[in-house]
Structure 1
Amino acid sequence: MNSRILIIGGYGVFGGRLSAALLQGNEYDVIVAGRSLQKAEAFCERHGGIPYTIDIDAIDLTEQVRGLAPAVIVDAAGPWQDYGKDPYRVARAGLACGAHYLDLSDDAAFSEGIASLDTDARTKGVVIISGVSSVPALSSSATDALSKGMTSIELVESAITPGNRAPRGQSVIRSILSQTGQPLKVWKAGAWRHVTGWGAIRSITLTVPGIPPLKNRWLSPIGAPDLTLLPSRYDAASVQFSAGLELKLMH
């Protein structure tokens, strides 16, 4: 059985955690890949794995992937907003090689458009899944659980507000900055409307039983797959997603 997993961006903030977790049990051959062979080698010296340099813009991407012969490809690189005119080249390379594909996309258009490969994936007998991350994977799972028994849903709202010690990868920062001040399409009161990305600031207090409340965390609207995928999935009147940083100056 092929247990080889290719993780693109495998030494980054999120990809690195996934790589390290998969390597702990010695069950998988993990290829830690990215544009920097030096960073991949440094990661593998600490955690194990097979370092590899790969550029998803390379003309011979499919041939490179075929030579690695992975059973599963995970794209943890991003930012998916910048994948250009051929956004699904990694997924298609996996299709050509018979590999399953997952990505951590936080881009609404990218995650919605992955459905264009569904017919080919079914024909090949492989799985293609986009957005295997906090949103929409975890947020939709939570919504599934919380909405059981409801006859109608007025609002699906989620937010991410990491502590200042939480690492932030370069692709996440690039994603946020690329949307700042730009029109953001949201589903509100049964119609598509536009708000300003990282614009309007609101303050919330997070409360969890047994833990001191997190007071006055700032949030702003930002793009996420939830905004386009969840309105139809839950027939919700409104869907909202926001993010914020712990320190107001950083926000």
Structure 2
Amino acid sequence: MGRIIIVGGYGAFGARAAERLAREPGLDVIIAGRSLASARAQAGMLSPTAEASVTAAALDATRVTAQELRALAPGVVINASGPFQAQDYHLARTCIAAGCHYVDLADARGFVTGITQLDAEARAANVSVVSGASSVPGLSSAAVRHMAGNLAQLDEVHIGISPGNSFDPGIATAASIISAAGKPIQARSGGRWTTLYAWHGLHRHVFPEIGARWMSDVDVPDLELLPQHYPELRTARFSAGLEVSVFHLGLWAAAGLVRAGLLRDLGALAPPMLAAKRRLSMLGTDAGGMFVRVVGRDQQGTSRASTWTLIARRGDGPYVPAMASVILAKRLVTGEGPPPGATPCFGLFPLADFEAEVADLDITCTLEREAQIAA
């Protein structure tokens, strides 16, 4: 029986990972976190219909010791206790010391790309340490690799995500998003590194089925990882969008105050902004979207473009960031996961695995290939 601990298994994304893993016969799922009451409540909700064994445990990701972790005897620990912008690698190091695999749902650029500093330790302990098993870079890189497979050269990648307004990120996540507004971002553009600014670069993107939404530049690990994996890449861009225009444009305007030096940080505005979003939740919908567009050249030098699009309805969008960790955890407990070492979650599973995992949800994935585009 494979034992998987989900730290933060009662949070927005950890609960979705727990729900999916609880459907797997032969697994032993432990929902853990600082609040034993919350962990027990989540386990109690899942247990009646679970195929797996589901229990609860108290575990503080910032303080747990290797001895405490060994006592729980996990094969894999999923860290869903974000946001990760201010976290260190304590839990990952503890997993290495305890001899178990580690997977997290981080999407903070520095946290995800810096995980390689644990590579030698992880190899010596014969465990896999994976950071970024989330929408980015885990899923986004799977989509890029799928579409770039028939290209001789990859020139441009543009990734975008816009959740439905009904999604409630919680105060900690909201604060991490808002605090980044107006801060500089280093990104590859036109063949050189350039400075962008978070929540600027305002533009519209038209999603199939759910329509046009405002989007702006946001920092993600992909902006650093894509040029590492595709040295010929000229442009890498990531955009995020808030469904309700007044929210998005308000954040865009506030980001300008930070960029101009009139405000140091918008983090203090997170509570009132989240409260306003909650009060006006009826303005939006439960539908969100994600797209990954690649442009490159085939073996004949012809310019080609492909776009993979995901549309999530009925509030199923929050499952998307959880699925990469579910896929990898199931692989690791069967000995089929990534080799020992510490690595960002870039291209660690095929896109088909994700699409199969969400087939029972109100999530549709489409791939459009353009026959030829202008040079």
TM-score (norm 2): 0.61
Match of 2:222 among 206, 209, 226: 226
What count of residue pairs does the alignment treat as equivalent?
A: 241
The Cα offsets for residues 129-156 of structure 1, whole Å up to 9 and x where unpaired, read as: 1111111111111111111232322211
Show structure 2 runs of 5+ residues with no match: 48-53, 249-375
Q: Does the 8 Å CA contact 2:62/2:91 hold for their aligned counterparts?
A: no
Deviation of residue 125 (structure 1)?
Answer: 1.5
* Alignment correspondent of 1:161: 162
CA separation in 2, counterparts of 1:219 and 1:163?
Answer: 13
CA separation in 1, counterparts of 2:24 and 2:110?
Answer: 35
* 2:71 matches 1:67: yes
Q: Does the 8 Å CA contact 2:156/2:235 hold for their aligned counterparts?
A: yes
Deviation of residue 79 (structure 1)?
Answer: 1.1
Deviation of residue 63 (structure 1)?
Answer: 2.8
1:1-251 pair list within 5 angstroms:
1=1, 3-48=2-47, 49-58=54-63, 60-83=64-87, 87-207=88-208, 212=209, 214-235=210-231, 236-251=233-248
One-letter code aligned to 1:27 = G
One-letter code aligned to 1:71 = G
Q: 95-104 or 116-125, which moves further after superposition? A: 116-125
The Cα offsets for residues 45-75 of structure 1, whole Å up to 9 and x where unpaired, read as: 11132222222222x5333212211110110
One-letter code aligned to 2:240 = A
Show structure 1 runs of 5+ residues with no match: none
One-letter code aligned to 1:34 = G
The Cα offsets for residues 106-165 of structure 1, whole Å up to 9 and x where unpaired, read as: 011111111111222222211111111111111111111111232322211100011223
The Cα offsets for residues 61-93 of structure 1, whole Å up to 9 and x where unpaired, read as: 33321221111011011111111xxx1111110
Q: Does the 8 Å CA contact 1:106/1:223 hold for their aligned counterparts?
A: no
Q: Does the 8 Å CA contact 1:55/1:61 hold for their aligned counterparts?
A: no
Q: Which has the higher contact order (CA 8 A, sep 6+)?
A: 2
| Secondary structure of the structure 2 residue equivalent to 1:154 | strand
The Cα offsets for residues 83-106 of structure 1, whole Å up to 9 and x where unpaired, read as: 1xxx11111100011100101110
One-letter code aligned to 2:62 = D
CA separation in 2, counterparts of 1:125 and 1:135?
Answer: 26
Larger radius of gyration: 2
One-letter code aligned to 2:217 = P
CA separation in 1, counterparts of 2:204 and 2:113?
Answer: 30
Q: Does the 8 Å CA contact 1:79/1:174 hold for their aligned counterparts?
A: no
| Secondary structure of the structure 2 residue equivalent to 1:81 | coil
Q: Does the 8 Å CA contact 1:12/1:169 hold for their aligned counterparts?
A: no
CA separation in 2, counterparts of 1:27 and 1:218?
Answer: 44
User: Structure 1 residues 171 and 233 mapped into 2: Cα distance closer, same or farther (>3 Å)?
Assistant: farther
| Secondary structure of the structure 2 residue equivalent to 1:80 | coil
Q: Does the 8 Å CA contact 2:101/2:128 hold for their aligned counterparts?
A: yes
CA separation in 2, counterparts of 1:71 and 1:152?
Answer: 39
CA separation in 1, counterparts of 2:62 and 2:173?
Answer: 19
Deviation of residue 167 (structure 1)?
Answer: 4.4
CA separation in 1, counterparts of 2:76 and 2:144?
Answer: 28
CA separation in 2, counterparts of 1:134 and 1:47?
Answer: 24
| Secondary structure of the structure 1 residue equivalent to 2:163 | coil
One-letter code aligned to 2:73 = A
Provide the aligned C-alpha RMSD in A.
1.6
Runs of 4 or more consecutive aligned structure 1 residues displaced over 6 Å after TM superposition: none
| Secondary structure of the structure 1 residue equivalent to 2:239 | strand
CA separation in 1, counterparts of 2:6 and 2:171?
Answer: 17
One-letter code aligned to 1:206 = F
Deviation of residue 170 (structure 1)?
Answer: 4.2
One-letter code aligned to 1:184 = I
CA separation in 1, counterparts of 2:167 and 2:37?
Answer: 24
CA separation in 1, counterparts of 2:16 and 2:244?
Answer: 24
| Secondary structure of the structure 1 residue equivalent to 2:244 | coil
